[in-house]
Every structure is written in C-alpha cells, then in structure tokens.
Structure 1
Amino acid sequence: MLRKTLLAAVITLITTAGAYAQKFAHLDFTELVRTMPEYKQAQEEMEKMRKEMEDELLELQNELREKAQKFEKEASGYTELVRQRKIRELQEMQQKIQEYAEENQENLARRQQELLQPLTQKAQKAIEEVATKNGYTYVFDSSQGNGLLFFKNGEDIIALVKKQLESMPPIDMKSSKGTTEAPKPNSQTPAPAQQQQTSPAKDKKK
C-alpha cells in the first residue's frame, strides 16, 4: 500500500513538473496580419474593385431611372399591349441589376479570401518558426471574438513574430488574380419574340 502511494506521488510530481515546463505564449493574430505590408496592398485592391462595382451599378441604376421616366412621359400614347411590354422590360432590367449587385458582393468576398489566404499562411508559418526556436508549447490567439476568455502567465510574442516576418520573402500579390468580375447585364432588352425563345435560366448566363 505504501509503495502504491509513493508511486502515485512520484507520477503526480513528474506530471506537475512537466506541466510547469511547458511554455505558453499568445498574440493578436488579427493585428499581426493587419501590420503586414501585403495587407495594405490587399486592401487597396479590394477598395479599387469595390469602387468599380459601385460605379457600374450606379450607371445601370441611372439608366433604369431614365427609362422609367421616359416611360411615364410616353405611357399615355402607348397601346395596352405596348404598355405592358414596356413595364415588363423595366421589371426585367431591375431584376438583372439586383442579380448583378448580389453577384458582385459574392465576388468581392471571394476575392478578399483569395488575397488574405497567403497572408494568413505566411503569418502562421512565422508563428510556428518563432514557437519552435523559443520552445513554446502553445501559442494562443488573443484576438477579440476568438473564444479565448482568460489567459495568464503567457508571453506576448507578437514582436518576435513581426521580426520573423521581416526576414521572410514578401508575397507577390499580383500573382493572385481571380476571375471574380460578374458579367455586366445587357441594357438592351430583347424583343418579345426573342424573350419567348430564351428561357430565364439561359438569359441569366449571358
């Protein structure tokens, strides 16, 4: 019985010593990525892409508004058949603009992911290298909203990781070119005969 008690005490002592031998560190991963030079390049490209999309949508919306105003002025001179056709054309144009706007938002989010992925991979590699060199067993992300509620007795290694990033080759942001541009909707609405021959699914792909 005494031998079992001593053995249990030794195991507990070894386990406790092993736990204390572990080194813990933390850093704000979001802040780390935002300080990288490539992050500024990514943001500039995203802003340029967003501005181009907004300008195109504004142009289409202005065109739709002009067509609607013209319809209101000339509606009294239309036959009922022509009037209904004009209304349908305006509705279809509005629907296409809405779909174009939604596709642009999806493409914008996709492009942002494409641009940020190599940055996060590079940051992760730098963290691993710093942790290996300095013997850290765990490195926690202290960014807000990542689920880490409390941390004690750890070292903030963001300065070490930043220094490690400086020694790594820069990312060629131009090499990552995604095909994220949505096809601009055609402002010319097809004639009624063509509308009957073209299904909505096929028309959307144009």
Structure 2
Amino acid sequence: MKKTLFLVGLFMALAIGNTYAQKFALIDMEYILGKVPAYENGNKQLENVSKQWQAEIDKAAQEVEAMYKKYQADLVFLAGDAKTKRENEIVTKENEINTLRNKYFGQQGELMKRREAIMKPIQDNIYEAVKEIATANSYQVVVDRASASTIIFASPSIDISDQVLARLGY
C-alpha cells in the first residue's frame, strides 16, 4: 500500500512538474549573422573605411617619425628656442594623431557610429523574428549560444536559428 501510494504521489509530482515546465530555445547569432548578406556587406564597408582611416593615421605617424629623426639629426645645431619649437611641433603633431585616432576609432568615434547605423537594423530584424517565433511557440527563454559561454551542451533540437533565418527570408 505504501509503495502504491508513493508511486501515485511520484507520478502526480512529475505530472505537475511537467505542466509548469518552461520551454527553452537556442539561437546561434554568429551563424545567423553569417547567413545574412546585409551583415557581410556592412562588415566589408566598415573594414574598408577602417583601412582608409588607419592609412591616414599611419601616414601622419610616419611624418612624426620623420620630424623626430630630423630633429635628432639637427639637435647639435639647434639653440634653446629652436630646439623647444621643434619639440613642440612634434608633440603637437602627436596630439593631432591621438585626436584623429579617437575621432575615428574611439568609443564615441565614427567607426562605432557607422557600425551602429549599419548593424542595428539587422540586429533589430533578428530580434523581432526571434520574438515572433518565441511567442508563437511559447518559449519563455531564448538563449544566444554564441554569447553564452557557460553552455556546455545543448540539444540541437532546441536550436531555432534556421527558423529565424526562414522568418527573415534567408
């Protein structure tokens, strides 16, 4: 009797637990973004602009290097004021390079602004597709496998990345 009562109680506990079970899904954002042509084109645009800006900074750095070498060569012939003037020119040019570097590559720089302008609409579309799929399938949580470093294993059956791509039309 105790055994039967125990089994019935265990069965009911499992049944109740399953009705309150939450549904989870995974996406792989890197995989999804790799399949979106607009993302790849945006990355190429950003890379090209970044290379142009870096070339501009490198050219200015070479000019500073040349100024410094000329200063070193002429150091013996320079008087106090001339020496100070040349040093100040070099420091000013170095400061201009740092300002330019921050303008292009800083946290509030042009590259970040362009990246946001290009990538945000793509990411918003993906988010909306994930949200629609999650709502339609009653998923309580959708986790990005690419950014969740603590996931050791996940069943491929809960990966909805291909569904997201299909919803986006890819």
TM-score w.r.t. length of structure 1: 0.64
Q: Does 1:16 align with 2:17?
A: yes
Q: Which moved more, 1:104-113 or 1:48-57?
A: 104-113
Distance 1:141 1:77, change over 3 A: closer
Count residues in correspondence.
159
**Cα distance in 2 between the residues matched to 1:150 and 1:24:** 14
Decide whether the 8 Å contact of 1:25 with 1:140 is kept in 2.
yes
**Cα distance in 1 between the residues matched to 2:112 and 2:141:** 31
Match of 2:122 among 112, 116, 119: 119
Over aligned residues, Cα RMSD in angstroms? 2.8
Secondary structure of residue in 2 paired with 1:139: strand
Distance 1:70 1:13, change over 3 A: closer
Decide whether the 8 Å contact of 1:28 with 1:142 is kept in 2.
yes
Q: What letter corresponds to residue 18 of structure 1 in structure 2?
A: T
Q: What letter corresponds to residue 129 of structure 1 in structure 2?
A: E
Equivalent in the alignment of 2:134? 131
**Cα distance in 1 between the residues matched to 2:82 and 2:14:** 91
Deviations 1:138-167, CA, capped at 9 Å, x for gaps = 322222545434545852211111111117
Match of 2:159 among 151, 156, 159: 156
Q: Which has the higher helix share?
A: 2
Decide whether the 8 Å contact of 1:26 with 1:154 is kept in 2.
no
Secondary structure of residue in 2 paired with 1:143: coil
Aligned counterparts, 1:98-109, within 5 A:
98-106=98-106, 107=109, 108-109=111-112
**Cα distance in 2 between the residues matched to 1:94 and 1:23:** 57
Greater relative contact order (Cα < 8 A, sep 6+): 2
Secondary structure of residue in 1 paired with 2:20: helix
Structure 1: stretches of 5+ with no match in the other structure: 1-8, 168-206
Q: What letter corresponds to residue 117 of structure 1 in structure 2?
A: K
Aligned counterparts, 1:181-196, within 5 A:
none
Distance 1:17 1:66, change over 3 A: closer
**Cα distance in 2 between the residues matched to 1:11 and 1:116:** 49
Secondary structure of residue in 1 paired with 2:142: strand
Equivalent in the alignment of 1:83? 83
**Cα distance in 2 between the residues matched to 1:16 and 1:128:** 26
TM-score w.r.t. length of structure 2: 0.75
**Cα distance in 2 between the residues matched to 1:145 and 1:18:** 27
Distance 1:81 1:37, change over 3 A: same
Structure 2: stretches of 5+ with no match in the other structure: 1-8
